[in-house]
A and B are shown apart, each in its own frame.
Chain A
Amino acid sequence: MIELTVNGNPIAVPEGTPLLEAVRAAGVELPTLCYHEGLAPYGACRLCMVLVASPHRELVASCVYPVEEGLAVETDAPEAVTARRLALEFLLSRCPQSAVIRELAAGEGVTASRFGAPPPEKADELCMLCGLCVRVCREAIGANAISFIGRGGERRVGAPFDVQSDACIGCGACAEVCPTGAIWIEDRGHQRILHNWNTTVELHPCPACGRFFAPEPTAFLKEVLPETAELWGMCPECLRQRAARQWIEQDVVKPT
């Protein structure tokens, strides 16, 4: 275990823990947007800044800073508070319509931005470029369908050349993980439309009820997981009913 102090309170966490988790374990909340336990550290939003006061004085992004023995961390040091506030103030000016960002900002005492509003064509911008969608698609799904495009202020997320992606399997993990709800996925009849990626995938009817449910490009799962191949494409409702029936047949539970 690694021992450190957070605002003077000692805490011990396993080696390799990100400082952010140690701070949270010590009961201190920090705003985060680009951090996700299940994905590799990224350190882009810079909301989780804290001051490492000793052994060396440094402002760090706690989510990408591995804990070290004897660190003294101050989350309320003026420079750390200012850093978090400025990051939020800038994100607020980028995405004034985002309820999530407004709430995080308010939590740090920021209710207005001195840096103006987005241009009219971006007035409804919700994406703050945390990269969670890109990373979940690459690291967790393995589809690598979307990526960042452009540099600096031009940076945005999209499918290559903004045309129908052959790599997208329509799983929707990107929308699931997006902290600001910037990704719009719509199921329309036998199709799923991933509006942000200019991509449409076909849906497969549930073998039990016929409701369109599983994206066709996920059919490869039948080969990857042959033991459950027959269940592929079944909607959650039918899966639940099927499990319930099995349990009754196998006497796992009895109907009351």
Chain B
Amino acid sequence: MRVHTRSDLEKLSAEGIAALYPSRLKISVGMATCGLATGADGVYHALRDEAAARGLDLALVAVGCIGYCQQEPLVDVRMPDRGRVLYARMTPERARALIAALAQGALPAEGALAAIRENGDGSEPAKDLPPLEELPFYAHQHKVILRNSGLIAPTRLEEYAAREGYQGLARALALPPQAVVDEVSRSGLRGRGGGGFPTGRKWQICRDAPGAPKYIICNGDEGDPGAYMDRTVLESDPYSVIEGMVIGGYAIGASEGYIYVRDEYPLAVERVTQAVARAEDAGLLGADILGSGFDFSVRVVRGAGAFVCGEETALIASIEGGMGEPRPKPPYPATSGLWGQPTVINNVKTWASVSAILARGADWYAGLGVEGNTGTVVFSLVGKVANTGLVEVPLGLTLREMIEDIGGGGPDGKAVKAVQTGGPSGGCLPARLFHLPIDYETLTEAGSIMGSGGMVVMDEETCMVDVARYFLNFTMDESCGKCTPCREGTRAMHTILSRIVAGEGTPEDLALLEEVAVWVKGAALCGLGQTVPNPVLSTLRYFRDEYEAHVHERRCPAGVCRALIRLAIRPDLCTGCGICQRECPAGAIRGEKREPHVIDPELCTRCRLCHDACPEGAIEIVR
């Protein structure tokens, strides 16, 4: 259907409500990349086939990411007038059992994680289940960017419309463009691509810049390893991004937009492409959008996946068909961007926030988070933490609330030592700083960055020198190589760190490492080089004792660095079962059955397989 007026939008939304809350049984399966990776596909087919076999009438829907990675595959079952329940860790087998129970007319307790309140018919949520919002993992969360993720079928325009979709655009188009810029400025929104530049101010600069045409770009490169926030938004709620871009285009006076998505995200590319086509069909992209006389079109560009292509000037060069290489700023893209024209480039999450801000108002958004750091951010919480997943929280939450309350602390109750925020060029902050609030300035002052939302939790078994080396190993390869500090300096830091973890570091190495790190940070051309030293500088600042142990005592306190540890079997604990001997790929373990075994240090490669395999815990790591 064509959506030309507000009443068309209401009709579309009514259709969406009918699809979201049908009068028959509905089962939604989280089928973003994360769900698929844990077998959601098999679950989906099992549900479908079993329902068909039993003649059960149901609406089976593939939705986006529900957010609780730890518990994937997740299945959301809604039974009209009976409630709505989220089932976790589904398998095809359990899916068939679920269908069997549902065919009996019951929402089974087996495998149920929580009750979902929002069920469209006001029926009481199941009493014996905790409400989803009250699970520790969800209690501190506030979903703005991920507002629809996992709740709608990603490319169904009507379902997006049913959840306030396109209300923001309708409102924006009724305002003068400058008022839209003002609204975004007043909301306090800052760029979610990492830098935190005030979005309204960027738009104003571009709006005021001479030159036409102007362009809008959505940065969906997301090159940080382990980060998947942007992918999730694009896969789970593409219209929220597209709508934001149309609003931005109207505000700054652009009629063309580009969505740059890395090619390694095939599902995101597919869904966004479908959504763009669907929005075009509905007239929500193209000429005379919602009868306003404003035209806007969107093109999807696939990036060939280099970390540095996320940097805005490199990304623009890449869209233009050039090499993805940064150039010096100024001029900034807002005055001279794509094809030399004024261009607003914002992150996926920034655009998804814009559509919500216009729908609900700047004051609502400014009321989330804290002064100067308003709104919400999405983190991918991973590492040595009990609950992992995509977490959206208001800015200003403390690291402790994030790691201990939402994340549930270390797995198996192990102590958490540090957290790394901001992706490979972020810094590591020690547990004694967990009282710090999560905001752009605090993280930067502490030696890390917000980045685009990676959060890796580390425990006592993590060697901070090794961590620094690990990240440098990544950035060393991802440096474009254009400028001397980043190209040569990053390699030199990596070489020094490799020496230190190999037990060959000298006290002079520590001073040299610091000197090079400070130089690269201050002298590199682009944001990549300027942040590459963060893992080094922050670990030198907070975990210098670990560096010193490596250098002065040839000891790795965390027991990680292979050159500095030894594995030994405690004769008092060893039962001589021989499991270690079978596990050892180096053939380094000898011993008679039922006699204590021994490890030959000459042959041992310190792979730790024996340590992990020993049922008696008899193999110790000697540091």
Instruction: Enumerate chain A interface residues (CB-CB to B < 8 A).
Output: 41-47, 49, 59, 61, 64, 66, 79, 82-83, 86-87, 90-91, 93-94, 114-115, 128-129, 131, 147-148, 150-155
Measured between beta carbons, the chain B residues less than 8 angstroms from A46 are 483-485, 523-525
State how many angstroms separate the Cβ of A87 from the closest Cβ of chain B. Answer: 5
Name A's interface SS: mixed
Q: Which residues of A contact B484 (CB under 8 A)?
A: 44-47, 87, 90-91, 128
- Answer whether A83 and B522 are a contact pair too, CB < 8 Å, given A115-B492, A151-B306: yes
**Which of B476, B482, B485, B515 has most chain A Cβ within 10 Å?**
B482
Chain B residues closer than 8 Å to A147, beta-carbon distance: 323
> CA of A152 to CA of B327 in the docked complex: distance in angstroms?
16
Say whether, besides A59-B523, A152-B478, A114 and B512 are in contact (CB < 8 Å).
Answer: yes
Establish whether residues B492 and A43, one from each chain, have CB atoms under 8 Å apart when the complex forms.
no
Q: Tell me whether A94 and B488 are in contact (CB under 8 A).
A: yes
Instruction: List residues of chain A with CB within 8 A of the CB of B328.
Output: 41-43, 61, 64
Assembly CA distance A128 to B483 (angstroms):
10
B491 at the interface (CB under 8 A from A): yes
Q: Which residue of A lies closest to B490 (CB)?
A: A152
Least CB distance from B486 to A in Å reads 8
Please determine whether B525 and A86 come into contact, CB atoms closer than 8 angstroms. no
Main secondary structure of the interface of B (DSSP, over half): helix
Q: Which residue of B lies closest to A134 (CB)?
A: B323
User: Whole-angstrom distance from the CB of B502 to the nearest CB of chain A?
Assistant: 16
Q: Does any Cβ of A come within 8 Å of B195's Cβ?
A: no
How many chain-B residues does the 8 Å CB contact rule pick out? 31
- Given known pairs A43-B328, A79-B522, A148-B323, the reply for A153 and B481 (CB within 8 Å) is yes
* A66→B332 CA distance, assembly (Å): 13
Q: Note all chain B residues with C-beta closer than 8 A to A94.
A: 488
Q: A79-B522, A152-B478 are in contact. List 6 more A-B contacts (CB 8 A).
A: A44-B525, A45-B483, A82-B515, A94-B488, A129-B482, A153-B487
Which chain A residue has the least Cβ–Cβ distance from B480?
A151
Q: Are A90 and B525 in contact (CB under 8 A)?
A: no
The answer for the CA separation of A200 and B525 in the assembled complex, in Å, is 36
**B522, A59: Cβ atoms under 8 Å?**
yes
B479 at the interface (CB under 8 A from A): yes
Q: Which residues in chain B, 520-578, are within 8 Å of chain A measured between CB atoms?
A: 522-525
Provide a sorted-by-A list of 8 A–B residue pairs whose CB atoms are within 8 angstroms.
Answer: A46-B523, A131-B482, A150-B481, A152-B478, A152-B491, A153-B476, A153-B487, A155-B481
Please determine whether A49 and B523 come into contact, CB atoms closer than 8 angstroms: yes
A151 vs B523: C-alpha distance when bound (angstroms): 19
Cβ contact within 8 Å between B525 and A61? yes
A154:B523 contact, CB within 8 angstroms: no
Contact of B519 with A151 in the complex, beta carbons under 8 Å:
no
Q: Which residue of A lies closest to B525 (CB)?
A: A43
Q: Which of A59, A93, A115, A129 contacts B487 (CB 8 A)?
A: A129
With both chains docked as a complex, state the minimum distance between the C-beta of A162 and any C-beta of chain B, in angstroms: 17
Chain B 464-484 interface mask (CB, 8 Å, partner A; 1/0): 000000000000111111111
Interface residue from B479, B519, B524, B525 paired with A152 (Cβ < 8 Å): B479
* CB < 8 Å neighbour of B481 from A61, A64, A93, A152: A152
Q: Smallest distance from the beta carbon of A65 to chain B beta carbons, Å?
A: 8
Tell me whether B277 is interfacial, beta carbon within 8 Å: no
Is the C-beta of B55 less than 8 angstroms from some C-beta in chain A?
no
